[in-house]
Amino acid sequence: MFENMVLITEKDVYNVKCKRIPAEEYDGERFIVTLGDEVNQVVRKIEVRLSGTLLASTGMQEPDKFDFASRAACRLVRSNEKGNEVSITTGNFDLLRGKQASDEEIDDTLRLLIHRFFTKYPDPKVNRLSPADVFLSTDFDFQRILNRLGYFEARGIIRKSSLNEYEYDLALGGFEKLEALERSPKVGPEPENRYFQLVPLSKKVKEPFVFALMPFKPREFGQKVYSDVIKPTVEKELGICCIRSDEETKLGVINNQIFTMIRKAKLIIAETTSRNPNVFYEVGMAHAFNKDVFIFNSSKKNKKLPFDIITNRAVFYDGYEDLKKKIVENLKDHVS
Whether pTM exceeds 0.75: no
Q: Are strands 2-8 and 13-21 parallel, antiparallel or unpaired?
A: antiparallel
Q: Cβ–Cβ contacts within 10 Å for residue 91, how many?
A: 11
Query: What pLDDT is stored for residue 204 in this prediction?
Result: 85
> What's the whole-number mean pLDDT along residues 177-196?
66
Boundaries of every domain in the chain: 2-97, 105-183, 209-334
Distance CA 50, CA 35 (A): 19
128 Cβ contact partners less than 8 Å away, ≥ 6 residues apart? 121, 161, 163, 164, 167, 168, 169
Domains 105-183 and 209-334 belong to one CATH topology: no
Q: Are strands 42-51 and 28-36 parallel, antiparallel or unpaired?
A: antiparallel
pLDDT tens by residue, 78-112: 888 888 999 999 988 988 888 878 888 899 899 99
Query: What pLDDT is stored for residue 310 in this prediction?
Result: 62
pLDDT tens by residue, 52-85: 999 999 999 988 999 999 999 999 898 888 889 9
Fold adopted by 209-334: Rossmann fold (3.40.50)
Query: What pLDDT is stored for residue 192 in this prediction?
Result: 62
Model confidence at 306: pLDDT above 80: no
Which listed CATH number (1.10.3470, 1.20.1070, 1.10.10, 3.60.21) goes with 105-183?
A: 1.10.10
Please provide the average confidence, as pLDDT, over all residues in the chain. 87
Distance CA 298, CA 319 (A): 7
Model confidence at 279: pLDDT above 90: yes
Q: Are strands 267-271 and 292-298 parallel, antiparallel or unpaired?
A: parallel
